[in-house]
Structure 1
Amino acid sequence: MLLRWAAWILTREQQWQSEVSPAHSRGIFLTIQSGNIAVGFCLASWITLACSYTTTQAQWILPIALQVIFAGFLLVTVPFLVESPRWIANHRSLDEATKVIARLQDLPETHEAVLQVRNEIAEALEAEANASWRTLFGNNNEQNFRRLCLGFGALYMQQLTGINTIAYYVAYIEQEYLHLSNSMSHIVAAITATQYLPFALSPILFVERFGRRTLLMCGAAALALMSAMIAVGFNIPGRAGGIFTMVFYCLFYNCFGMSYLNIPWMYAPEINSLKVRSKGMAVASASNWLFNGIVVTVTPSGLQAIGWRFYIVCKLPPSLLPMVAGGVSATNKKLGVVFNLSFIPMVYFLYPETRGLSLEQIDHIFEGKGRGWSCFTSGVRDSIQGPAAIEAARPGRHNTHEVQTADGHHMHHLENMDGSKANAVGIESIPNKA
């Protein structure tokens, strides 16, 4: 229980990483972080193989004890990490946050790029004043509830791809359904996890080029196809069927690693607003563990009840599994793939693109209240077109002007598009040029 609790706490890392990373490379850093999941999975597979050869207490003590190495590494290194400037601005002061921004960008505090980030954070704090748990579940001008649902849904989709119907039980499946020996099944499982590792890290090369939406949609299509082919493999008799199935197991892993391993984890902290980001990330993380538990729980009984058909229906809500197990018609056999493919229109219509946008620019996508269907889709098209389209579509959009006061300060004020002045959003102490 303590290990599970600790793992849940460590899922906060994505929030910290998203808040300290520059917009143009945030996806790369978050991909590296998520890729470490694949590193751990690979190590765990080989440790499981090694421990399968002993029947002593070491079989379960060693895997747990080895985790102390990584926990110790965190204890030593975390104190040297910088605190998130957005957290500092929210809980301490904007001036202290400015110093951290300057350190992260290796620029002086008076540099234009540093002041731009500072003012964006200040504007976000002003717009989201007095946020609470109630704010998170309210669909106000910041559309926090919509954003909460997007983060929750991204990690829900990750688990409903069916990755853990394979990852948790691949050795068991190889023994029971492909008739491999105990040692051979663990060897094949470890090799499968090892070849998965480079694919899990490969989005470093293209996540900021293709964006979140494209990878999610292409990943859903590929995973649906791989699931269908795994089901076909279960119906091919003999050794050929086993080889066929294992090939598509590997391809399933690889398609998942290039899409749904990293994108859902980066999307949740990106999409939530500053004041409720930690709360929104907590709910999204709960989605991951909730549906992880459901999938892992129903997999053994699902395989026992309907065999190969489970790889068709594993994308279904668990409430439908008993109905399918009772009698699978030709239509029902296809329904699971259709459900998985439904992720494609979900992402296309509902999920804004966050590639290359600062966290505050992402906030601008959700400004204002939509009506009807636009409550769920507003800002999606603008986000695809980029920051200029997002700014142009903002309700009550404004221009920022800088005014130098007599004492050498620079004051930024907002001018609405009709020419009237809005409230000041930031004052910087900048020496006079003399």
Structure 2
Amino acid sequence: MGLFYNFSVALFSALGSFLFGYDSGVIGSIVSAEFDFFHAYFHSPGVSIIGAIVSTFAGGCFFGAAAAGWLAAHIGRKRTIQLGGLIAMLGCSLQTGAQNVSYLIVGRMIAGLAIGCLSMVVPLYQSEISPPGMRGFLTGLTQFMISIGFLVANWVGYGSQFIRSDAQWRVPLGVQIFPATLLFLGMFILPFSPRWLVDQGRNDEALAVLQQLHGDKGNKEFIELEFAEMLEQIQYEKENISTKISDLWSTKPMLRRTLTGIGIQVCTQFTGINVSSYFQPTLYADLGLSGSKVLMITGVNGALGAITTIIFIYFILDRVGRKPPLIFGAVGMAISLAVEAAINAKWGGVNNHAAQTAGVAFIIIFSALFFSVSFGPISWVYQSEIFPMRIRALGTAVCTCANWACNVLISQVSPIGMARLQYRFYIFFVVMNIMNGVVVFFFFPETKGKSLEEMDAVFGDQVIPHALETKQMHNVGVQDEKDRDSDA
């Protein structure tokens, strides 16, 4: 089936990422001042309650990501994605039918468990089904679908503000039940990760999946070499590497992998993106904008972000690598937020059209341009490709937990920070983006073009040769397959 099938599998599994983006985007609209029926129904919740409604979701995500590490290793990447879709159906249904704030928070906590699980396992699954030269693109579909989720959420929010009943907020919350159901059902026909199948001793199935994903008339040798490399590496890891959490820091190369994986996610959160994502209407209100225009601008920002992401992951990421875009994005976001702080300091809340236009433009440039060509897609690609197979699910789970732990912190304090510090709140993220660029420059290795099995050479713990590098196969299973082909 080849490339188109590979792309289709990666894109469909990213429905889990769509749910992540949609929920994160829609809550910003729902808690905004334009959703008056929401505020009336829940008796005008204060900033601390709003922060709890937003951050409780992220708290659930933390525990969902932690559980997904065990699930992905034991029941497989595919079944873990299905389980995430099933739990998302429940959590989204509870939010849609919420009768009070506690009911809503419980629904968001359950939905968060699902999204945390999916945010960890979807890019892991995508990375394990991708050929080395396209892994940035196919795993980067995670961020693209997050962007599409935000885009749909923003425009659903824009349209729903005109509904003059409690359906104003119930409809946008209920929309997410459909993709969750589609993900759960659709994953029945998608393949298991070939690397997980090899890890379970199901080698014939793994080879068949590889042929489905990567096969065409001209790359039979590549598939045989890739399969041989999987067998050799996973066999070695089974014999020499355990799956204890302490293995994440048991050697210097493993500690470097773990710190790098956690680092990319922590740096991503401290770009300030979730302040923009969750509270974007509030940022526009601080510039003096109000009414339906606020949610319309949010929708435009989402559309531009999705377009930028797909262009970047398709045309650029696998060509230029991981580090240069991260440094470029960090510098660009720091400059954007510094300009935004200056605009808010002098003209915030003032009816100055030029200042409002500039303020909106730099919020969009920050997220739709610089974030979308750097930490947005690369964070999911990077954390999913750096760990060896025996510890990959656990390592990816720890990194994703770091993401959600920071997310909880930032989403909880942001309403208070924006209310009390106003434009000064931007300065904190200016400093953090500068630090992000420094950390990436000095500590992050480049992983472009390497197979997942070749990451040991990148991190300095390679002990066996790689078939894709030596062009030699040492596995009996592959040789047997070649013999069967010749007999046929």
TM-score (norm 1): 0.78
Determine the C-alpha separation between the residues in 1 that align with 2:417 and 2:270: 14
| 8 Å CA contact retained: 1:235, 1:241 | no
Alignment partner of 1:148 is 2:258: yes
Pick aligned residue for 2:443 from 350, 363, 367:
350
> Which structure 1 residue ranges, 5 or more long, are not aligned?
316-336, 369-393, 403-410, 413-423
Identical positions, percent? 28
Q: Measure the CA separation in 2 of the matches of 1:46 and 1:401.
A: 51
The reply to whether residue 133 of structure 1 matches residue 230 of structure 2 is no
- Is 1:274 paired with 2:389? yes
- Structure 2 residue 77 is matched with structure 1 residue 26: no
Task: Check if 1:191 corresponds to 2:242.
Answer: no
Q: CA deviation at 1:427?
A: 6.2
Q: Which amino acid aligns with 2:374?
A: S
Residue by residue, what CA displacement relative to the aligned partner does 1:375-433 show, whole Å, maximum 9, x if unpaired? Answer: xxxxxxxxxxxxxxxxxxx568799696xxxxxxxx72xxxxxxxxxxx7876214397
Residues 3-82 of structure 1: pairs in structure 2 closer than 5 A: 3-11=111-119, 12-82=121-191
Correspondent of 1:242 among 341, 346, 356: 356
What is the CA-CA distance between 1:309 and the residue it aligns to? 0.9
Aligned length: 365
Q: 1:311 to 1:124 in 2, by over 3 A?
A: same
1:252 aligns with 2:303: no
Contact 2:383–2:399 (Cα < 8 Å) also in 1: yes
User: What is the DSSP-based 3-state SS (H/G/I as helix, E as strand, rest coil) of the residue aligned with 2:138?
Assistant: helix
Match of 1:180 among 284, 289, 294: 289
Residue of structure 2 in register with 1:92 after alignment: 201
Amino acid at match of 1:63: P
Query: Which protein has the bigger strand share?
Result: 1
Partner of residue 119, structure 1: 228
Q: Does 1:431 align with 2:483?
A: yes
Root-mean-square deviation (CA), in Å? 2.5
The 2-side partners of 1:427 and 1:29 are apart by: 26
Change (3 A) 1:312 1:46: same
Q: Which residue of 1 aligns with 2:272?
A: 162
Aligned residue for 1:2? 110
Q: Are the structure 2 counterparts of residues 159 and 339 from structure 1 closer, same or farther at C-alpha, using a change threshold of 3 Å?
A: closer
CA shift at 1:42, angstroms?
Answer: 1.0
- Alpha-carbon displacement from aligned partner over 1:159-216 (angstroms, at most 9, x marks no partner): 10001112211212322x2222232222222222223221122212111111111111
Tell me how far apart the structure 2 counterparts of residues 401 and 87 of structure 1 sit (CA, whole Å). Answer: 23
Q: One-letter code of the match for 1:266?
A: V
* Cα contact 2:227–2:478 (8 A) shared by 1: no
Q: TM-score normalized by structure 2?
A: 0.70
Cα distance, 1:55–1:290 mapped onto 2, change above 3 Å = farther
Deviates more, 1:26-35 or 1:37-46: 26-35
- Contact 1:45/1:189, CA 8 A, preserved across alignment: yes
In structure 2, the residue corresponding to 1:342 is in which secondary structure? helix
Q: Aligned equivalents of 1:59 and 1:293: distance in 2?
A: 26
Tell me if the contact between 1:136 and 1:280 (Cα under 8 Å) persists in the aligned partners.
no
Q: Please state if 1:361 is matched with 2:469.
A: no
Aligned residue type for 2:345: N
C-alpha contact (below 8 Å) 1:14/1:266 kept by paired residues: yes
- Aligned equivalents of 2:459 and 2:251: distance in 1? 10
Greater mean deviation of Cα atoms: 98-107 or 60-69: 98-107
- Distance verdict in 2 for CA 1:190–1:111, change over 3 Å: closer
- SS of structure 1 residue aligned to 2:483: coil
Name segments (4+ residues, structure 1) moved above 4 Å.
Answer: 394-402, 424-427
Deviations along 1:128-169, whole A, 9 cap, x unmatched?
22521335333337x333212211111111110001112211
Aligned CA distance change for structure 1 residues 123 and 221 (closer, same or farther; 3 Å): same
Q: How far has the Cα of 1:351 moved from its partner?
A: 1.3
Conserved 8 A contact 1:367-1:395: no
Which residue is 1:333 aligned to?
none
Give me the whole-angstrom Cα distance separating, in 1, the residues matched to 2:165 and 2:330.
42
**CA pair 212-425 structure 1, distance change in 2 beyond 3 A:** farther
**1:294, CA displacement in angstroms?**
1.2
Q: Does 1:301 align with 2:409?
A: no
Q: Residues of 1 paired with 2:170 and 2:422: CA distance?
A: 33
Gaps of 5+ in 2: 1-108
Q: Which has the higher contact order (CA 8 A, sep 6+)?
A: 2
Q: 1:21 Cα shift? A: 0.8
Distance 1:362 1:426, change over 3 A: farther
Q: 1:113 to 1:193 in 2, by over 3 A?
A: closer
For 1:428, give the aligned amino acid. Q
Residues 321-376 of structure 1, C-alpha deviations (whole Å, 9 max, x = no match)? xxxxxxxxxxxxxxxx34321222311222111111110111222243xxxxxxxx
2:317 paired with 1:207: yes
Distance 1:257 1:427, change over 3 A: closer
Rg larger in 1 or in 2?
Answer: 1
Cα gap change, 1:66/1:395 in structure 2, threshold over 3 Å: closer, same or farther? closer
Residue 339 to residue 21, structure 1, CA distance change in 2 (3 Å)? same
Tell me which amino acid in the other structure corresponds to 2:292. S
| Larger proportion of helix | 2
